[in-house]
Chain A
């Protein structure tokens, strides 16, 4: 029986369940090959146009609130990779309210696989790779173009940033979607925090009012995705004047976000199972 096994075995089973169901959806979508190729191409094209806007902006100015194009590109790339990875893995939880209404969540609850894995893999599509391809391309370009002295700590911090950033966005996807257990049509809340937050992080923090930046440090901790660690990698001063430790606190923030998301998910599922709506 699964629930008697160790935590590691349960986590492994959760990942395997996700993989099994995501693979089924991916194969389902591939049966419509032309539609898949077209939508993937459209996805890549649209995201590249998105970055083109940033390049156009820099044709009129050498700096954006004190940040150069490669530096801004680094923020853009890291933010997009983190969001894209989270969207790829758990983006489907955003449709929680719809799954509740259609009764699909009930079907998931009577299968011997974690409901969150099933929900996250529901309607999975490889199309979501489009966003990641663009994100990695922009990040790769910015890394090559950046004028940074690549000490070992800075080099190591890049993958750590991507990992923690993805975890934070995953947690935000799940945590904000849980609101739909109580308010079934509140999908926009999750969308505005994840997609809206990612757009925020694509620009230098100095562009925004200090209150906004403070909100991403002490409120929804999106600043830990890339803004704060980027200050160390790029060797820039903190616009809020926070202690240097904040630049290295992303793993802690990611862990806290995961914990908060897990609590929200459990509370939401408990509320659902005791109200049925």
Chain B
């Protein structure tokens, strides 16, 4: 059963660009432009795209904050914009950079408020809280004021707060941003278990490809308000023809290096950036550069999510629909 149904959804904004005091030009910006996808119950989907691609506009429409300008939307069977309050009880939202916890009060108090605002029956509240406390290791933190928690602890606290009312859909916006490795791992483990055991549908926006590799069976890439890719993660790498970058420092400034199968992306004094296909080994390339140029130092950079997306977009003559 599809929990999220999005059918040709559009959302445009009118932007006023003022160049005079009185005369202003109106321009229509299409933030989301004919988006269509479905998410089945229990799926965990990565939703990625460059800044300004339309990710948060989509999430705002899915939560009912924003009313779409066209198309059809259903979340858990209801129209989000028309039944925002009813939907609020069935979704959980976590913003990585903004906490919904009460800064000056013990962590436990934020959960007590959620119990009352979401009208969670006592037995269910206790069971859910116990589960979150155990899996997220919150036992020692419940009586600590939130302001004294570390970023990782707070993130775990926020996750628990979003799940106490058993939402059927969980939206996560950058849930691992700024966290240390241990917290990241704990958060991912918890999300994986919640998704598996509770069949909670998860929609995750992130800039961290590892989040997606470890959690999501499916990735949707949005750019300029349209889906440019929707499929398993491997497809993302294949479609993007990902490139790695070899950064070389030469003894002196040189004209751009010319080698077969390599694009020289950037030259900055003695430093040059060489792009080559991700599947190809870096060793022969390094040898070739060292043979012909006075090589001093080098490093290899893995593809960033933005670059992968940029390549998909550049490669697609017609955006996939």
Contacts and interface: CB of A to CB of B under 8 A. Distances in A.
Interface stretch (A56-64, A108-116, A173-181): A108-116
Interface string B98-129: 10101111000100010011110000000000
B89 A275 contact: no
B13 A113 contact: no
Interface stretch (B58-66, B182-190, B203-211, B292-300): B58-66
Given A27-B105, A106-B60, A107-B98, A20 B86 contact: no
Interface in B18-57: 57
Interface string A21-63: 1001001110110000000000000000000000000000000
A24 B85 contact: no
B85 A276 contact: no
Contacts of A103: 95, 98
Contacts of A3: 83, 85-86
A1 interface: yes
Interface in B214-253: none
Given A2-B85, A275-B13, A109 B64 contact: yes
Contacts of B212: none
A110 B145 CA distance: 24
A112 B109 CA distance: 18
B60 A276 contact: yes
Contacts of B116: 20
B258 to A, nearest CB: 48
B310 interface: no
A142 interface: no
A110 B113 contact: no
B4 interface: no
B116 to A, nearest CB: 5
Nearest to B65: A109
Contacts of A101: none
Contacts of B57: 276
A28 B102 contact: yes
B98 A109 contact: no
A40 to B, nearest CB: 17
B66 A276 contact: yes
B133 interface: no
A21 B103 CA distance: 13
Contact of A112 (B93, B118, B145): B118
Contacts, number: 73
B86 A1 contact: yes
B191 interface: no
B105 A2 contact: no
B105 A111 contact: no
B103 A28 contact: yes
B117 A20 contact: yes
Contact of A273 (B66, B91, B117, B118): B66
Nearest to B110: A24
B119 to A, nearest CB: 8
A266 to B, nearest CB: 13
A274 interface: yes
Contacts of A111: 88, 117
Contact of A31 (B13, B67, B100, B104): B104
Given A109-B84, A112-B89, A20 B113 contact: yes
A87 interface: no
A50 to B, nearest CB: 31
B170 to A, nearest CB: 12
Interface string A261-277: 00000000010011111
Contacts of B102: 24, 28
B105 A112 contact: no
A276 B83 contact: no
A185 to B, nearest CB: 15
B98 A276 contact: no
B2 interface: no
Contacts of A250: none
A103 B60 CA distance: 11
Nearest to B116: A20
Contacts of B66: 273-274, 276
Contacts of A277: 13
A18 B13 CA distance: 33
Contacts of B103: 28
Contacts of B145: 31
Given A106-B60, A110-B88, A17 B117 contact: yes
Contacts of B93: 110
Given A28-B102, A273-B81, A276-B57, A112 B88 contact: yes
Contacts of B84: 109-110
Contacts of A107: 95, 98, 100
8 contacts: A20-B113, A27-B109, A103-B98, A106-B65, A107-B98, A107-B100, A276-B60, A277-B13
Given A106-B65, A107-B100, 17 more contacts: A2-B85, A21-B113, A28-B102, A28-B105, A29-B104, A103-B98, A107-B95, A107-B98, A109-B63, A110-B63, A111-B117, A112-B118, A273-B66, A273-B67, A274-B66, A276-B13, A276-B60
Interface of A: 1-3, 17, 20-21, 24, 27-29, 31-32, 103, 106-107, 109-114, 270, 273-277
Closest 5 CB pairs of A and B: A112-B88, A28-B104, A1-B86, A109-B65, A31-B104
